[in-house]
C-alpha cells in the first residue's frame, strides 16, 4: 500500500472513531444512572480522596479511578459512612452522594461517563490494529466498522462499569503477547506484562488470561521445529513468568501497594474469613492462603470471593422463564439474539472460509479462537447469566475474525466484494434501529429491540437507565396516578429525577427498603421495569408479584425497558410483598414483634405467598405467639414446596429449621 493510500486509511480510522464518540456520547447523555454506576462512581471518588478500597471491593479499581478523574480537586459532599454491609454502604451512599452533588442534572455523571468512554475508543483502535496486523489493512478497516456499529459496544461503552474495560484489556493482552512471540524483545514483554496488569486491575475475570496464554504458549511450542522446542519452551515459560510478575506489580500499584482494603484502621464490614465461609473448602482455602501471605490485596481477594458467592445463587431469566440457577445454553442463546444477523452471517462465512482454506492465517486464528473458547466455556459454567455484557470480549475477537474473513473472501472476486459490503451494511443498519437505546438490542429474527424484554432481562434490555424518559412520559399525563416497579429502586431514587409515583416492591426493596404499602387494588398508570416484569431477580416465577402482567401487551413502552399499563389492577401480591419486606427488615433490626400487624396484613392479603407467611411466622415467634408462628411457617413451607425444586432450596431449609427450633 502506498503512503498516500495509507494516510487515507488513517483519516478513515479517525473519522470512524469520531463517529463512534458522537454516538456513544449521545447514548449516555440521555440515560439516567444504570444499576451499578453510583456504586462505582462513589467508590472511585473515595479511592482518590481517602484511599478506601473497601467500599466496592467486588470490582478492581481501574475503571472507577479513570472515570472519577474529572472529580479530582473537587471537595464534594460525602455522606457519613455507616457500619453496614459494604454493598449497602457503596450503593446507598453512592445514591445519596450523587443526588446531593449532581441531582437530575447528570453533569458529573456525564463527565465520568465520557472518561469511561475513552476505554471504548481505545478498544476500537486496538481491534483495528490487531486485525490489520493479522489479516491486512482491508480486514482492519472492516473490523473497525463492525466494532464502531456493534450495538452491544454502543450500549455499554461509556457506562462507568467494567465491561468495556475488561474487553479492551483482554484483547490488548492477547495482542501484545502475540507481538512479543512474533518478535521477542524486553520492551514488548514489558508491554505485555503491563497490559496484563491493567486487565487484572479492571475486572476479576481477568485471571482467565492465565489459561489463555498458557494454551497459546503450549501451541507455540508444538509448532516450533523439533530442534528448537526446548529453547521455545524455556522462552515461553520465562515470558509467562515475567508477565505474571509485572502484571501483579501493576495490580498492586492500583491498590497503592497496600494490603488492607480500608485506611486508618477501618475494617471491612465482613471479614475475608467470614465472607469465604459459603465457598467450597478448596476455594476458601485458596483465597485465605493468598491472604495469609499477602500475595494479593485484601480488597481484590474480597472481590474474587464475591464473584464465587454471587454465582452460587443468581437466578436466570431467558425465553420468558425464570430458572433458579444459570443455564449452560444461556450465553449461546444470548449471542443468537443480541448479535446482528449481518455479523452472524460474516462469522458463518469465516468458518466456511477456514474450512475451505481461503482464510489461511493459522496463527492469527489460533490467537482469536483460544481466548474466545476459554472465555465462553468459563461463562457457560460460571452461572452468572445476567447479560451479553458479560461476554463482551467475544464481540471484540468476533469483529476481528469477521473482518479477516470478509477481506479474504473479497479477494475471491467482485461478487464477494458486494457480499462483504452488504453484510457490513446490514450489521450497521440493524444496529442503528436500536438507537438511541442500544442496550435493548435484539436482531430482527427475534422481533427487534421492542421484543427483547420478553426473551431476556437485566442489562440485556433494562439496566434501569430510562428515568429521564419516564419523567417525560409522566409529564405528558398530568394529574394521573402512577405506580412504579423500578428495577434499581432503591439503589437509584426516581424522586431525584422528579418522578413521584407510588413505588412498588421488588427483590431489591426486600434488602434495602423503598416500597410503599399499596392497597390490593389500584387505578391509574402502572409502570413496570422490564427486569421486574420478568422476575429475573427471584429464583422462581412463582415469587414474582407481577407475573400476570406478562400475558398482557403493554399500553406503551418507554425506551423498550419500562412497560406501561393503564386501568385498574389487582396488586394484592405486590401489596403483601411490600408489607412482608418491611416486617422482615424490622426483624433484622431487632423489632420483629413490632412488625406483627404488618405481617398479619401481608399474610391476609396473600396467604399463598412464601414471603408473607414467612414474615408472619417470624413476627409471631418474636412476640411469643408460638401456635400462630407455627401455623404461618407451615403455610409458608407448603407454599415453598409449590415452587420448582431448584427454587425451593432458597426457602425450604430455612423454614424447616425454624419449625424444628420452635
- The predicted-structure confidence for 644-653, as pLDDT tens digits, reads as follows 999 999 999 9
The answer to the question of residue 123 being in a domain is yes
Determine the distance from the C-alpha atom of residue 341 to the mean position of all C-alpha atoms in its chain, rounded to a whole number: 23
Do 510 and 582 have their domain in common?
A: no
Percent of the chain at pLDDT exceeding 90: 94
Average pLDDT, the chain: 96
Do 559 and 589 have their domain in common?
A: no
Report d(CA 180, CA 185) in Å as an integer.
Answer: 7
The answer to the question of residue 463 being in a domain is yes
Report d(CA 217, CA 236) in Å as an integer.
Answer: 6
Residue 2: pLDDT above 60?
no
Q: What is the mean pLDDT of residues 589-604?
A: 94
In this prediction, residue 5 carries a pLDDT of: 66
- In order of 130, 174, 236, the CA distances from 178 in angstroms are 10, 6, 11
**Residue 565 DSSP SS3:** strand
**Residue 220 DSSP SS3:** helix
H or E segment to which residue 567 belongs: strand 562-570
Give the model confidence (pLDDT) of 86-100 as tens digits: 989 999 999 999 999
In this prediction, residue 83 carries a pLDDT of: 86
HSE-CB at 586 with a 13 A cutoff on CA atoms is 22
**Binning pLDDT at 50, 70 and 90, where does residue 481 land?**
very high
**Binning pLDDT at 50, 70 and 90, where does residue 310 land?**
confident
Beta strands 556-558 and 562-570 are antiparallel
Which residue range forms the structural domain that includes residue 643? 576-661
Determine the distance from the C-alpha atom of residue 313 to the mean position of all C-alpha atoms in its chain, rounded to a whole number: 16
Do 73 and 124 have their domain in common?
A: yes
Do 559 and 583 have their domain in common?
A: no
Q: What is the mean pLDDT of residues 447-451?
A: 97
In this prediction, residue 384 carries a pLDDT of: 86
CA-wise closest residue to 65 among 75, 53, 54:
53
Q: Cis peptide leading into 492, omega within 30 of 0?
A: no
| Full DSSP string of 601-622 | HHHHH-TT-HHHHHHHHHHHHH
Sign of the alpha-carbon torsion through 606, 607, 609, 610: positive
Q: What is the mean pLDDT of residues 495-523?
A: 95
Q: What is the crossing angle of helices 362-382 and 107-135, to 10°?
A: 140
Residues pairing with 566 in the sheet: 525
pTM of the model: 0.96
Cell of 433: 434501529
Report d(CA 340, CA 449) in Å as an integer.
Answer: 11
In this prediction, residue 32 carries a pLDDT of: 96
Do 208 and 84 have their domain in common?
A: yes
Mind spelling out the 3-state secondary structure of 315-332?
A: CEEECCEEECCCCCCHHH
**Binning pLDDT at 50, 70 and 90, where does residue 314 land?**
confident
Do 71 and 197 have their domain in common?
A: yes
Write b or e for each residue in 514-526: b if 16 or more Cβ atoms lie within 10 A of its Cβ, otherwise e.
bbbbbeeebebbb
Do 565 and 584 have their domain in common?
A: no
Q: What is the mean pLDDT of residues 217-233?
A: 95
| Full DSSP string of 68-87 | TGGGTT-----PPP-SS-HH
412: left (phi over 0), alpha (psi -120 to 50) or beta: alpha
The answer to the question of residue 291 being in a domain is no
Question: Are the beta carbons of 196 and 246 closer than 8 angstroms?
Answer: yes
Cell of 411: 479477494
Phi, psi at 417, each rounded to 5°:
-60, -45
Report d(CA 278, CA 306) in Å as an integer.
Answer: 10
Give the model confidence (pLDDT) of 326-374 as tens digits: 999 999 999 999 999 999 999 999 999 999 999 999 999 999 999 999 9
Report d(CA 35, CA 488) in Å as an integer.
Answer: 5
The answer to the question of residue 127 being in a domain is yes
Report d(CA 248, CA 209) in Å as an integer.
Answer: 13
Residue 312: pLDDT above 60?
yes
Looking at 254, 278, 308, the residue that finishes a domain is 254
Do 556 and 622 have their domain in common?
A: no
Looking at 214, 230, 254, the residue that finishes a domain is 254
Cell of 218: 503450549
**Binning pLDDT at 50, 70 and 90, where does residue 1 land?**
low
Give the model confidence (pLDDT) of 510-565 as tens digits: 988 999 999 999 999 999 999 999 999 999 999 999 999 999 999 999 999 999 99
Do 564 and 612 have their domain in common?
A: no
- In order of 84, 101, 348, the CA distances from 42 in angstroms are 16, 11, 43
Report d(CA 160, CA 155) in Å as an integer.
Answer: 12
Do 99 and 210 have their domain in common?
A: yes
Give the model confidence (pLDDT) of 108-133 as tens digits: 999 999 999 999 999 999 999 999 99
**Which residues make Cβ contacts (< 8 Å) with residue 35, sequence separation at least 6?**
459, 463, 464, 487, 488, 491, 492
Residue 598: pLDDT above 80?
yes
In this prediction, residue 4 carries a pLDDT of: 63
Q: What is the mean pLDDT of residues 482-505?
A: 96
* Domain CATH for 597: 1.25.40
Residues pairing with 503 in the sheet: 484
Phi, psi at 502, each rounded to 5°:
-75, 125
* Domains held by the chain: number: 3
Do 502 and 609 have their domain in common?
A: no
In this prediction, residue 40 carries a pLDDT of: 97
Q: What is the mean pLDDT of residues 195-199?
A: 98
Report d(CA 612, CA 632) in Å as an integer.
Answer: 9
Report d(CA 229, CA 470) in Å as an integer.
Answer: 63
Sign of the alpha-carbon torsion through 68, 49, 497, 56: positive
Percent of the chain at pLDDT exceeding 70: 99
**Which stretches of 386-501 are DSSP H helices?**
392-410, 414-432, 452-455, 467-475
Q: Cis peptide leading into 436, omega within 30 of 0?
A: yes
Give the model confidence (pLDDT) of 283-307 as tens digits: 999 999 999 999 999 999 999 999 9
The answer to the question of residue 631 being in a domain is yes
Phi, psi at 589, each rounded to 5°:
-90, 10
The answer to the question of residue 420 being in a domain is no
**Residue 107 DSSP SS3:** helix
The answer to the question of residue 421 being in a domain is no
Looking at 570, 593, 623, the residue that finishes a domain is 570
Give the model confidence (pLDDT) of 405-436 as tens digits: 999 999 999 999 999 999 999 999 999 999 99
Residues pairing with 522 in the sheet: 569
First-residue to last-residue Cα distance in the chain: 82
Do 483 and 612 have their domain in common?
A: no
Name the residue with cell 491486512. Answer: 136
The answer to the question of residue 62 being in a domain is yes
H or E segment to which residue 524 belongs: strand 521-529
**Which residues make Cβ contacts (< 8 Å) with residue 228, sequence separation at least 6?**
none
Number of H helices, E strands in the chain: 29, 7
Amino acid at each position: 500500500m502506498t503512503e498516500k493510500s495509507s494516510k487515507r486509511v488513517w483519516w478513515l480510522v479517525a473519522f470512524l472513531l469520531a463517529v463512534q464518540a458522537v454516538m456513544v456520547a449521545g447514548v449516555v447523555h440521555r440515560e439516567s444512572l444504570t444499576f451499578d454506576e453510583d456504586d462505582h462512581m462513589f467508590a472511585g471518588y473515595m479511592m482518590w480522596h481517602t484511599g478506601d478500597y473497601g467500599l466496592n471491593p467486588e470490582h478492581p479499581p481501574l475503571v472507577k479511578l479513570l472515570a472519577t478523574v474529572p472529580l479530582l480537586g473537587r471537595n464534594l459532599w460525602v455522606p457519613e459512612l455507616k457500619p453496614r454491609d459494604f454493598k449497602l454502604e457503596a450503593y446507598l451512599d453512592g445514591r445519596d452522594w450523587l443526588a446531593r452533588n449532581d441531582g437530575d442534572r447528570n453533569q458529573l455523571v456525564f463527565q465520568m461517563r465520557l472518561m469511561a468512554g475513552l476505554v471504548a475508543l481505545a478498544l476500537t483502535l486496538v481491534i483495528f490494529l490487531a486485525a490489520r496486523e493479522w489479516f491486512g489493512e482491508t480486514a482492519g478497516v472492516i473490523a473497525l466498522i463492525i466494532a464502531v456499529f456493534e450495538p452491544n459496544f454502543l450500549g455499554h461503552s461509556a457506562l462507568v462499569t467494567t465491561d468495556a474495560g475488561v474487553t479492551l484489556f483482554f484483547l490488548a493482552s492477547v495482542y501484545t503477547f502475540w507481538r512479543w512471540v512474533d518478535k521477542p524483545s524486553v520492551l514488548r514483554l514489558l508491554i505485555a506484562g503491563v497490559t496484563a496488569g491493567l486487565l487484572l486491575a479492571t475486572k476479576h475475570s481477568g485471571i482467565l488470561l492465565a489459561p489463555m496464554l498458557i494454551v497459546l504458549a503450549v501451541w507455540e511450542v508444538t509448532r516450533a521445529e523439533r530442534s528448537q522446542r526446548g529453547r521455545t519452551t524455556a522462552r515461553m515459560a520465562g515470558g509467562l513468568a515475567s508477565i505474571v510478575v509485572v502484571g501483579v506489580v501493576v495490580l498492586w500499584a492500583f491498590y497503592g501497594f497496600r494490603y488492607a482494603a480500608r485506611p486508618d484502621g477501618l475494617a471491612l464490614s465482613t471479614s475475608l474469613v467470614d465472607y469465604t465461609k459459603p465457598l467450597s473448602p478448596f476455594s476458601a482455602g485458596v483465597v485465605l492462603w493468598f491472604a495469609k501471605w499477602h500475595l494479593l490485596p485484601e480488597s481484590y481477594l474480597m472481590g474474587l470471593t464475591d464473584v464465587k458467592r454471587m454465582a452460587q445463587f443468581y437466578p436466570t431469566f431467558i425465553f420468558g422463564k425464570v430458572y433458579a440457577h444459570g443455564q449452560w445454553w444461556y450465553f449461546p442463546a444470548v449471542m443468537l439474539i443480541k448479535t446482528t444477523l449481518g455479523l452472524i452471517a460474516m462469522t458463518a462465512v469465516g468458518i466456511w472460509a477456514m474450512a475451505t482454506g481461503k482464510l489461511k492465517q493459522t496463527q492469527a486464528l489460533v490467537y482469536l479462537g483460544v481466548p474466545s473458547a476459554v472465555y465462553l466455556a468459563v461463562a457457560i459454567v460460571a452461572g452468572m447469566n445476567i447479560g451479553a455484557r458479560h461476554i463482551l470480549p467475544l464481540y471484540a475477537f468476533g469483529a476481528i475474525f469477521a473482518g479477516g474473513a470478509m477481506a479474504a473472501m473479497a479477494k475471491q472476486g467482485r461478487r464477494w466484494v458486494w457480499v462483504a459490503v452488504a453484510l457490513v451494511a446490514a450489521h450497521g443498519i440493524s444496529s442503528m434501529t436500536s438507537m438511541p437505546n442500544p442496550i435493548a438490542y435484539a436482531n430482527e429474527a427475534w422481533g427487534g429491540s421492542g421484543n427483547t424484554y420478553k426473551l431476556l432481562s437485566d442489562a440485556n434490555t433494562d439496566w434501569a437507565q430510562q428515568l429521564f424518559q419516564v419523567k417525560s412520559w409522566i409529564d405528558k399525563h398530568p394529574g394521573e396516578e402512577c405506580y412504579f416497579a423500578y428495577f434499581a429502586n432503591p439503589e437509584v431514587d426516581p424522586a431525584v429525577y422528579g418522578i413521584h409515583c407510588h413505588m412498588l416492591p421488588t427483590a431489591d426493596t426486600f434488602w434495602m427498603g423503598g416500597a410503599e404499602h399499596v392497597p390490593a387494588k389500584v387505578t391509574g398508570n402502572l409502570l413496570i421495569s422490564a427486569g421486574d416484569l420478568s422476575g429475573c431477580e427471584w429464583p422462581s416465577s412463582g415469587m414474582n408479584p407481577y407475573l400476570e402482567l406478562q400475558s398482557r401487551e403493554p399500553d406503551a413502552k418507554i425506551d423498550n425497558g419500562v412497560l406501561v399499563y393503564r386501568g385498574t389492577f389487582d396488586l394484592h401480591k405486590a401489596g403483601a410483598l411490600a408489607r412482608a419486606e418491611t416486617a422482615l427488615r424490622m426483624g433484622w433490626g431487632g423489632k420483629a414483634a413490632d412488625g406483627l400487624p404488618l405481617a398479619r396484613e401481608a399474610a391476609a392479603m396473600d396467604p399463598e405467598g412464601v414471603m408473607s407467611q414467612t414474615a408472619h411466622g417470624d413476627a409471631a415467634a418474636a412476640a411469643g405467639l408460638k401456635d400462630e408462628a407455627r401455623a404461618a411457617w407451615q403455610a409458608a413451607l407448603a407454599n415453598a414446596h409449590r415452587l420448582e425444586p431448584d427454587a425451593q432450596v432458597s426457602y425450604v431449609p430455612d423454614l424447616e429449621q425454624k419449625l424444628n427450633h420452635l
